[in-house]
Amino acid sequence: MDVEFDELKALDIWRRAIVKSVRLDAPDLSARQMSLLLTVYLTPPPHTVRGLANLLKVSKPAITRAVNRLTGLDMVRRKPDPDDKRSVLIQRTVRGSVFLREFGDLIVTAAKEESSSRDDVLPQRY
C-alpha cells in the first residue's frame, strides 16, 4: 500500500517533469539518449563507447548513434583518448550542463508541486 502510493507519487512527479520538458520544446530524446547523457554527466569519467555499451547493455553502434545525436545537439563531445588512440572519450559540454540543470529544476519543481495544483492536468472539454 505504502509502496504503491510511493510509486504513484513517483510516477506523477516523473509525469509533471517530462510533460513540462516536452511543452518547453526540449529536444525529444529517447530513453537511450537520455540515459547516456545523464551517465556522462553524473558518473565519473572516463566514458567510452565500449563502457557505455556495457553499462546500458546496448550495442556499440547504438551508442555511436546516441552520441551522434547528442553531439549534434552539442550536449556531449568526442575527444580522442591520448592514451589509447583507438578509444574515444565522451565528454560534457556547456550546453549539456545547462540542459540538465534546467531539467533537474523541472524535476524539483514537479516534486514540490506534488499534487497541489491540478490546473494543467484537466482535460480540455469539461
Partner DNA sequence: ATAAATCATTTCGATATCGGAACCTTAAAG
Partner DNA sequence: CTTTAAGGTTCCGATATCGAAATGATTTAT
Q: Which residues bind DNA (CB under 7 A)?
A: 28, 30, 32-33, 48-51, 58-69, 72, 78, 81, 84-88
Q: Identify the burial level of 87 via C-beta atoms within 10 angstroms of its C-beta, where 0-12 means exposed, 13-18 middle and 19 or more buried.
A: middle
Is 93 a binding residue for a second copy by CB under 8 A? The answer is: no
Query: Rounded CA gap, 30 and 110, in Å?
Result: 21
Is 10 a binding residue for a second copy by CB under 8 A? The answer is: yes
Residue 72 or residue 117: which is nearer to DNA going by CB?
72
**Residue 77 binds which entry of DNA, a second copy, none, CB below 5-8 Å type-dependent:** none
Q: Which three cell numbers stand for residue 50?
A: 565500449
Q: Are 67 and 49 a contacting pair, CB within 8 Å?
A: yes
Is 119 a binding residue for a second copy by CB under 8 A? The answer is: no
Residue 59 or residue 115: which is nearer to DNA going by CB?
59
| Coil vs helix vs strand at 90 | strand
Residue 50 or residue 71: which is nearer to a second copy going by CB?
50
Q: How many residues does the chain have?
A: 126
Nearest CA to 111 among 122, 103, 99, 123?
A: 103
CB of 5 to DNA, least distance (A): 32
Map residues 25-44 to x or -, x wherever contact with a second copy holds by CB under 8 A.
xx-xxxxx-xx--xx-xxxx
